[in-house]
Amino acid sequence: MPNGVTPKIVDGLQRIVGPENVLTAQSDRMVYECDGFTIEKNCPDVIVFPTCTEHVSGIIKLCNREDVIFLPRGAGTSLAGGTLAVGGGVMLVLTRMKEIEEINLRDRYAIVQPGVVNIWLTRALAGTGYHYAPDPSSQGACTIGGNVATNSGGPHTLKYGVTVNHVLGVEAVTADGTVIMVGGPSGEPIGPDLVGAMVGSEGTLAVVTRVWVRLTRNPEGTRTMLAVFESVDDATRAISAIIGEGIIPAALEMMDQGILVALEKAFKFGFPLDAEAILLIEVDGIEAGLDAQRDQITDICNRLGAREVRQAADDAERQKLWKCRKQAFGAIGRIASSLVTQDGVVPRTQLPFIFSKIQEISSKYNIRIVNVFHAGDGNIHPVFLFDERNENEVKAVLEAGGEILQACLDCGGSVTGEHGIGVEKVGFMNKMFTDGDIEMMTRLRITFNPDGRLSPNKMLPVAGACGVERIKPSRTVAM
């Protein structure tokens, strides 16, 4: 068993980063007891805010000397408990490493520190003709370091790819305190793609201290459409028809009636409340091809029974539509006392199947489920509405969630498209992967993190490790 945090360790941390960058009071530490996954909570023993790579290395070396566990955290928007301090220990909060160090348009990259909030980079790039493509719905709060750790997605990943497709290199500190540099602005290192392996490793391999991200040219034009369907079935068939006919929209999102009602209450956009589903479809690129793509998509939707397909009149309307979409979960808060969302993935052609399965599970457990999907990617987000004071409902929500994820696996999908395994889904790893797969994943972890002091009890089911008891869900907000 690793040691607890002693006054000597706190003293050592203060000497590395200065007393103003260390928190020990219970009331301060409470803020860090959980992230966006609020079901389980545990306070870290001490919070430390490094402001440079040398700090991170010094802190990690100290933790190793004193045999205490440690883990990194960004803004704490993880939805799977990726930054839950299981077992306490030292938490490195990287939000004070927040410089955008370089923007190089000629060579299309930027260098950012891990605490840079995703949208800051977008803002810094305004007017340059370039942007940073990954746009998780939490982009106003989440940090790029956290995006790297979880390989974040967002609505526009359908055409542009997820975080890993936009990370050229990282500087990181390994579990023994060694600073390594992997990849770089030219994005083409020799040998195994360590950058790719580190992105999405949920803080279990190293602590990222600097990121080289790819910058993407802005599209010349955009067409944003809203297609209204009488039935979810028609809407999901339209999704697979659009992709199947070779059109890759920039974004293709589905929202069902339950979500629309909540959104309408919150934003008064004018959504048709009697429709069973709407698709939010965006194509972008050079102007010359956009109207043709829009017409083709409109035809497909009409052919598959859309009641109406309309185009966002102007940029203001487009912005409002996206605001509705990205704040959908906030809006649901108005119609239920508690909510929990799941993050599964199915092959796109299986969307009709998984939707009817969700409805079946909803009536079986008598739990209301509303849906907002990154449909073009096959990434589903069923949202369970319930009352967390009712123990039976809580139990039903957990079981129903498990059943939906199992259905995703049964049709060839995954239990997480963008939220990660964290602590939430460790139990599913054995369902998705063989013992051999997990054995090799453990070997990868051992390479970077041999003593297991960095982010213990995350991601992989470790034999003999004390798992977190699943007690009760409460409000968790998702992308």
Partner 1 sequence: MTDLSPLPITEVVAVSSQDDLQQLVQQCHADSVSMYPLGGQTSLGFGVPARTEGIGIDLRGINQVIDFPVRDLTITVEAGILMSDLNSLLAAEGLMLPLHVPQMSNATLGGVIATNTNGPGRFGYGTVRDYVIGIRALSGDAQVYNAGGRVVKNVAGYDFCKLLTGSLGTLGIITQVTMKLKPIPTRQATVIAPVNDVQHADRVVAELMNSMVRPVAIEFLQGSEFTTVVDAVDQSSAALAIVLHGTDEEVDWMIGKLRRELSSSKVRDSHNLDADSHEQLWSQLCDFAADDTALAVTESRTVSSGCVSIINLALKQHPDCAVQSHMGDGIVTMKLPEDSDAQVSDLVIKTLGPEARRHHGHVVILSAANAAELTTQSVWGDPSSPDFLIQKLREQFDPQRLINPGRFVYQ
Which residues within the stretch 208-237 sit at the binding site for partner 1 (CB under 8 A)?
Answer: 217, 220
Q: Is there binding between residue 456 and partner 1 (CB under 8 A)?
A: no
- Of these, 447, 451, 470, 471, which contacts partner 1 (CB under 8 A)? 447
Distance from CA of residue 187 to its chain's centroid?
A: 23
Q: Is there binding between residue 249 and partner 1 (CB under 8 A)?
A: no
Binding mask 169-208 vs partner 1 (x if CB under 8 A, - otherwise)?
A: x----x-----xxxxxxx-xxxxxxxxxx-xxx-------
CB atoms within 10 A of CB 182: 21
Region binding partner 1 by CB under 8 A among candidate stretches 13-21, 303-311, 357-365, 416-424 = 416-424
Residue with tokens 């999907």: 373
Q: Is the dihedral of CA 365, 332, 416, 85 positive or negative?
A: negative
Region binding partner 1 by CB under 8 A among candidate stretches 8-16, 57-65, 70-78, 282-290 = 282-290
Applying the rule CB under 8 A, the residues between 316 and 355 that interact with partner 1 are 345-349
Nearest distance, CB of residue 206 and partner 1, angstroms: 9
Q: Is the dihedral of CA 186, 187, 192, 198 positive or negative?
A: positive
Q: Which of 126, 142, 80 is nearest to 134 (CA)?
A: 142
Radius of gyration of the chain (CA): 22
Nearest distance, CB of residue 350 and partner 1, angstroms: 8
Nearer to partner 1 among residue 113 and residue 151 (C-beta): 151
- Of these, 72, 136, 153, 456, which contacts partner 1 (CB under 8 A)? 153
Binding mask 373-412 vs partner 1 (x if CB under 8 A, - otherwise)?
A: -x--xxx--------------------------------x
Q: Report d(CA 117, CA 135) in Å as an integer.
A: 11
Nearest distance, CB of residue 13 and partner 1, angstroms: 26
Which residues, in sequence order, are bridge partners of residue 227?
A: 279, 309
Q: Is there binding between residue 440 and partner 1 (CB under 8 A)?
A: yes
Q: Is there binding between residue 360 and partner 1 (CB under 8 A)?
A: no
Q: Is there binding between residue 465 and partner 1 (CB under 8 A)?
A: no
Applying the rule CB under 8 A, the residues between 20 and 39 that interact with partner 1 are none
Q: Is there binding between residue 467 and partner 1 (CB under 8 A)?
A: no
CB atoms within 10 A of CB 126: 10
Cα–Cα distances (Å) from 174 to 203, 391, 421, 446, in that order, read: 10, 42, 21, 11
Which residues, in sequence order, are bridge partners of residue 283?
A: 223
- Of these, 126, 292, 466, 471, which contacts partner 1 (CB under 8 A)? 292
Region binding partner 1 by CB under 8 A among candidate stretches 116-124, 156-164, 327-335, 389-397 = 156-164
Nearer to partner 1 among residue 29 and residue 419 (C-beta): 419
DSSP secondary structure letters along 374-415: BGGGTEE-EEEEE-TT-HHHHHHHHHHHHHHHHHHHHTT-BS
Cα–Cα distances (Å) from 107 to 168, 428, 451, in that order, read: 12, 41, 39
Which residues, in sequence order, are bridge partners of residue 284?
A: 222
Applying the rule CB under 8 A, the residues between 112 and 131 that interact with partner 1 are 129
Q: Which two tokens stand for residue 357?
A: 């399965």
Nearer to partner 1 among residue 88 and residue 422 (C-beta): 422
Nearer to partner 1 among residue 177 and residue 184 (C-beta): 184
Q: Report d(CA 154, CA 449) in Å as an integer.
A: 29
Maximum CA extent, the chain: 71
Nearer to partner 1 among residue 195 and residue 266 (C-beta): 195
Between helices 351-365 and 232-244, what is the axis angle to 10°?
A: 150
Q: Is there binding between residue 7 and partner 1 (CB under 8 A)?
A: no
Which residues, in sequence order, are bridge partners of residue 130?
A: 217
Nearer to partner 1 among residue 172 and residue 340 (C-beta): 172
- Of these, 417, 453, 458, 468, which contacts partner 1 (CB under 8 A)? 417
Q: Is there binding between residue 46 and partner 1 (CB under 8 A)?
A: no
- Of these, 421, 454, 468, 478, which contacts partner 1 (CB under 8 A)? 421
Nearer to partner 1 among residue 71 and residue 275 (C-beta): 71
Region binding partner 1 by CB under 8 A among candidate stretches 27-35, 164-172, 324-332, 360-368 = 164-172
Q: Is there binding between residue 252 and partner 1 (CB under 8 A)?
A: no
Helix (H) or strand (E) holding 90: strand 90-93
Q: Report d(CA 346, CA 380) in Å as an integer.
A: 8
Q: Which of 275, 259, 230, 227 is nearest to 373 (CA)?
A: 259
- Of these, 1, 25, 286, 316, which contacts partner 1 (CB under 8 A)? 286
165 half-sphere exposure, CB direction, 13 A CA radius: 15
φ, ψ (nearest 5 deg) of residue 171: -105, 135
Nearer to partner 1 among residue 196 and residue 272 (C-beta): 196
Nearer to partner 1 among residue 88 and residue 134 (C-beta): 134
Applying the rule CB under 8 A, the residues between 133 and 152 that interact with partner 1 are 150-151
Q: Which of 63, 66, 29, 64 is nearest to 46 (CA)?
A: 29
Q: Is there binding between residue 288 and partner 1 (CB under 8 A)?
A: yes
Which residues, in sequence order, are bridge partners of residue 72?
A: 92
